[in-house]
Structure 1
Amino acid sequence: MYQEVIEPETTPRDNRITSSIPPFAMQYSPAIPELLMQLNISLALTTYQAGKLVTISPKDENSLISLPRTFEKPMGVALDGDRMAIACKDEVIYLENSKELAKHYPNKPNTYDNLFVPKVTYHTGQVDMHDLAFGKEGLWAINTSFSCLCQVDESFNFMPKWRPKFISDLVSEDRCHLNGLVMQEGHPRYVTALGQTDTPQGWRDNITTGGVLIDLRTDEVILDRLAMPHSPMFYNGELYLLLSASGQLAKIDIESKRLEVVKDLEGFCRGMDIIGDYAFIGMSKLRKNSSTFAKLDFAEKADQAGIKIVHLPTKALVGEIVYQSSVDEIYDVKILEGMLRPNVLNTINPLHKYSLSIPGKTFWAKTGQEPENSNQ
Structure 2
Amino acid sequence: MSDETNARFQADHQAWRDPAAVVAQWQDAGAVDSSLLDAEVTGPWWQILAEAGVTLLVSREYEHLLMALSMGSGSPRVSYLRLPHPSGIAFDAACGQVHVASTRNPNVLYTLRPTDRLLPRRDLESNGFAGRVLMPASARFLPGSTYLHDLAMIGPQLHASAVGENAIMAFPAGGDGSRVWWPSCIEGATGADFGLNHLQLNGIAAGESLAESYFTASRDDLVGARPGQIEFAAEGRGVVFSGATRSPMTRGLTRPHSPRFVGGALWVANSGFGSIVDCGQDGSTEVVARLPGWTRGLCAIGDIAIIGTSRIIPRFRAYAPGLDPDECVCGLHAVDVKAGRIVASLIWPSGNQIFAIEAVPSSTIDRLPFEIDRHPDAERTLFYAWQNASSNVGENR
TM-score (norm 1): 0.81
> Aligned AA for 1:96?
R
Higher mean Cα deviation, 161-170 or 268-277? 161-170
- 8 Å CA contact 1:118, 1:352 repeated in 2: no
Secondary structure in 1 aligned to 2:300?
Answer: strand
Secondary structure in 1 aligned to 2:309?
Answer: strand
The aligned residue for residue 147 of structure 2 is: 128
Once residues 137 and 58 of structure 1 are traced to their aligned partners in structure 2, the CA distance between those partners, rounded to angstroms, is 29
The Cα shift of 1:289 comes to: 3.7
The Cα shift of 1:136 comes to: 3.0
Identity of aligned residues (%): 18
Q: Deviations over 1:141-192 (max 9, x none)?
A: 1000011011124554x31112111113343421100001111125461101
- 8 Å CA contact 2:69, 2:367 repeated in 1: no
The aligned residue for residue 3 of structure 2 is: none
Once residues 389 and 249 of structure 2 are traced to their aligned partners in structure 1, the CA distance between those partners, rounded to angstroms, is 47
Q: Deviations over 1:80-109 (max 9, x none)?
A: 22121011131111122244459x999994
Gaps of 5+ in 2: 1-19, 21-28, 371-378
The Cα shift of 1:231 comes to: 0.6
The aligned residue for residue 177 of structure 1 is: 200
Whether 1:192 and 2:192 are equivalent positions in the alignment is no
- In the TM superposition, 1:1-376 aligns within 5 A as 12-14=30-32, 17=33, 22-58=35-71, 64-81=76-93, 82-89=96-103, 90-100=107-117, 109-112=128-131, 114-126=132-144, 127-136=146-155, 138-153=157-172, 154-156=174-176, 158-168=177-187, 169-187=192-210, 189-198=213-222, 202-203=226-227, 204=229, 205-254=232-281, 256-293=282-319, 295-302=321-328, 304-325=329-350, 327-339=351-363, 342-345=366-369, 352=383, 354-357=385-388, 360-362=391-393
The Cα shift of 1:286 comes to: 0.9
- 8 Å CA contact 1:267, 1:301 repeated in 2: yes
- 8 Å CA contact 1:176, 1:201 repeated in 2: no
Q: In structure 2, do the counterparts of structure 1 residues 234 and 361 end up closer, same or farther at CA, with 3 Å as the change threshold?
A: same
- 8 Å CA contact 2:89, 2:98 repeated in 1: yes
Secondary structure in 1 aligned to 2:85?
Answer: coil
Q: Deviations over 1:51-105 (max 9, x none)?
A: 11001123777x6321121111111001122121011131111122244459x99
Once residues 330 and 262 of structure 2 are traced to their aligned partners in structure 1, the CA distance between those partners, rounded to angstroms, is 25
The Cα shift of 1:282 comes to: 0.8
- 8 Å CA contact 2:39, 2:347 repeated in 1: yes
Q: In structure 2, do the counterparts of structure 1 residues 172 and 186 end up closer, same or farther at CA, with 3 Å as the change threshold?
A: same
Q: Number of paired residues?
A: 342
Q: In structure 2, do the counterparts of structure 1 residues 353 and 33 end up closer, same or farther at CA, with 3 Å as the change threshold?
A: same
Secondary structure in 1 aligned to 2:194?
Answer: coil
Q: In structure 2, do the counterparts of structure 1 residues 163 and 342 end up closer, same or farther at CA, with 3 Å as the change threshold?
A: same
Which structure has more strand as a fraction of its residues?
1
Once residues 295 and 259 of structure 1 are traced to their aligned partners in structure 2, the CA distance between those partners, rounded to angstroms, is 18
Higher mean Cα deviation, 92-101 or 314-323? 92-101
Once residues 356 and 329 of structure 1 are traced to their aligned partners in structure 2, the CA distance between those partners, rounded to angstroms, is 33
- 8 Å CA contact 1:288, 1:294 repeated in 2: no
Once residues 386 and 152 of structure 2 are traced to their aligned partners in structure 1, the CA distance between those partners, rounded to angstroms, is 25
TM-score (norm 2): 0.77
> Aligned AA for 1:79?
F
Gaps of 5+ in 1: 1-9, 366-376
- 8 Å CA contact 2:151, 2:161 repeated in 1: yes
Cα RMSD of the aligned pairs, angstroms, is 3.2
Once residues 357 and 268 of structure 1 are traced to their aligned partners in structure 2, the CA distance between those partners, rounded to angstroms, is 37
